Amino acid sequence: MNFLILAAGTRNKIVQYFKRTFEGEGKVIATDASELGPAIYDADKYYIVPSINEPGYIDIILDICKKEKISGVLSLIDPELSLLAENEEKFKAVGTTVIGSSYELCEMALDKMQMYKWLKDHNYLCARSWMDKEEFYKAVDAREVTYPVFVKPYRGSASISISKVYDKETVDLLFAHEDDLMIQEFLNGQEIGADVYIDILSGEVVSIFTKKKIKMRAGETDKAVSFKDDKLFTLIEKFVLEAGYKGQIDIDIFEINGEYYISEVNPRFGGGYPHAYESGCDHMKLILENLKGNANMKNIGAYVEGIYMMKYNEVKIMK
Ligand X SMILES: Nc1ncnc2c1ncn2[C@@H]1O[C@H](COP(=O)(O)OP(=O)(O)O)[C@@H](O)[C@H]1O
Kindly tell me which of 191 and 282 has the beta carbon lying closer to ligand X.
191
Count of residues that interact with Mg ion, criterion CB under 5 A: 2
Kindly tell me which of 18 and 154 has the beta carbon lying closer to ligand X.
154
Kindly tell me which of 68 and 252 has the beta carbon lying closer to ligand X.
252
Q: Could you tell me which stretch among 21-29, 37-45, 187-195, 250-258 binds Mg ion (CB under 5 A)?
A: 250-258
3-state secondary structure the chain: CEEEEECCCCCHHHHHHHHHHHCCCCCEEEEECCCCCHHHHHCCEEEECCCCCCCCHHHHHHHHHHHCCEEEEEECCHHHHHHHHHCHHHHHHCCCEECCCCHHHHHHHHCHHHHHHHHHHCCCCCCCEECCHHHHHHHHHCCCCCCCEEEEECCCCCCCCCEEECCHHHHHHHHHHCCCEEEEECCCCEEEEEEEEECCCCCCEEEEEEEEEEEEECCEEEEEEECCCHHHHHHHHHHHHHHCCCEEEEEEEEEECCEEEEEEEECCCCCCHHHHHHCCCCHHHHHHHHHCCCCCCCCCCCCCCCCEEECCCCCCCCC
Residue 94 Cβ vs ligand X, minimum distance, rounded to whole Å: 33
Kindly tell me which of 43 and 194 has the beta carbon lying closer to Mg ion.
194
12, 71, 82, 184: which one binds ligand X (CB under 6 A): 184
Q: Note whether 261 and 127 are within 8 A (CB).
A: yes
264, 292, 304, 310: which one binds Mg ion (CB under 5 A): 264
Q: Could you tell me which stretch among 5-13, 175-183, 185-193, 278-286 binds ligand X (CB under 6 A)?
A: 185-193
Q: Could you tell me which stretch among 44-52, 181-189, 276-284, 291-299 binds ligand X (CB under 6 A)?
A: 181-189
**Binding status of residue 160 toward Mg ion by CB under 5 A:** no
Residue 33 Cβ vs Mg ion, minimum distance, rounded to whole Å: 23
Interface map 110-149 toward ligand X (x if CB under 6 A): -----------------x----------------------
Q: Could you tell me which stretch among 126-134, 245-253, 281-289, 302-310 binds Mg ion (CB under 5 A)?
A: 245-253
Interface contacts to Mg ion, rule CB under 5 A: 252, 264
Interface contacts to ligand X, rule CB under 6 A: 127, 150, 152, 156-159, 162, 184-187, 191, 216, 219, 252, 263-264
